[in-house]
A = this chain, B = another copy of it.
């Protein structure tokens, strides 16, 4: 029996790519710069998994996503020959706190919250997720982050730790995510799995994930469909 739903956030709940491109365009205008901002956004995001993997392997001590994002941003600005002050970099880095939701996210979460406990389970730090929820109107029951366990997903400690904090069995918790690798790790940790397709996460030119309809416990086209399937 599903009692709680834990949501991956970047890409699953919020459209990080469009939001970051928009923030980069504003930054570019303020600096009088023209660049390929979609490519810049993609590079920023592409730096994230390798940086987390260094933390997961113990090559870096525990480091928040905010700080990983900032280090990647500074390197990208440097490589692009863009000079900016610390306050400008800080503001731009906090664009990840201001990501906009997919159009169905708030309405779907609001319905799901009526029947289930809904929480984040994201590699984003607590302050990022909390600020994002205020910005985007995401009605979480609580905010759970890899930061609380000092283990980034897909480490099993993140999934198991989420169930423990909620004081429920892993099988009573379902991870909702747009990424098969996250869902496979959740399943290995004993959680239920709900795949939600977000074919535009990486932009219109990238092929969506190829996911068989029976690969996970639930496969949904968006959060409204998920609410329908879960009777919420």
Q: Residues of A with Cβ closer than 8 Å to B? A: 66, 117, 119, 125-127, 129-131, 133-134, 140-144, 147-148, 165-168
Contacts of A126 in B (CB 8 A): 142, 144, 165-166
Contact A133 B125 (CB under 8 A): no
Q: Is the interface of A mostly helix, strand, loop or mixed?
A: helix
Complexed CA–CA distance, A126 and B119 (Å)? 12
If A126-B165, A165-B127, A167-B125 touch, whether A133 touches B141 (CB-CB below 8 Å) is yes
Task: Say yes or no: B148 contacts A130, CB within 8 Å.
Answer: no
Do B167 and A66 touch across chains, with their CB atoms under 8 A apart? Answer: yes
A140 surroundings in chain B (CB, below 8 A): 142
Distance A160 CA – B148 CA, assembled complex (angstroms) = 15
| 27 intermolecular pairs with C-beta atoms under 8 Å apart | A66-B167, A117-B130, A117-B131, A117-B134, A119-B130, A125-B165, A125-B167, A126-B144, A126-B165, A126-B166, A127-B165, A127-B166, A127-B167, A127-B168, A129-B142, A130-B141, A130-B142, A130-B166, A133-B141, A133-B142, A134-B141, A140-B142, A141-B143, A142-B142, A142-B143, A143-B143, A147-B165
The docked-state distance in angstroms from the alpha carbon of A133 to that of B167 is: 15
Identical chains bound together, number: 2
Q: Which residues of B contact A148 (CB under 8 A)?
A: 148
Known: A133-B141, A141-B143. 20 other contacts (CB 8 A): A66-B167, A117-B130, A117-B131, A117-B134, A119-B130, A125-B167, A126-B142, A126-B144, A126-B165, A126-B166, A127-B165, A129-B142, A130-B141, A130-B142, A130-B166, A133-B142, A134-B141, A142-B143, A147-B165, A148-B148
Within the assembled complex, what's the spacing in Å between the Cα atoms of A144 and B167? 15
- Residues of chain B within 8 A (CB-CB) of A165 are 125-127, 147
Shortest CB-to-CB span from A190 to chain B, Å, is 17
Q: How far is the CB of A109 from chain B (nearest CB, A)?
A: 14
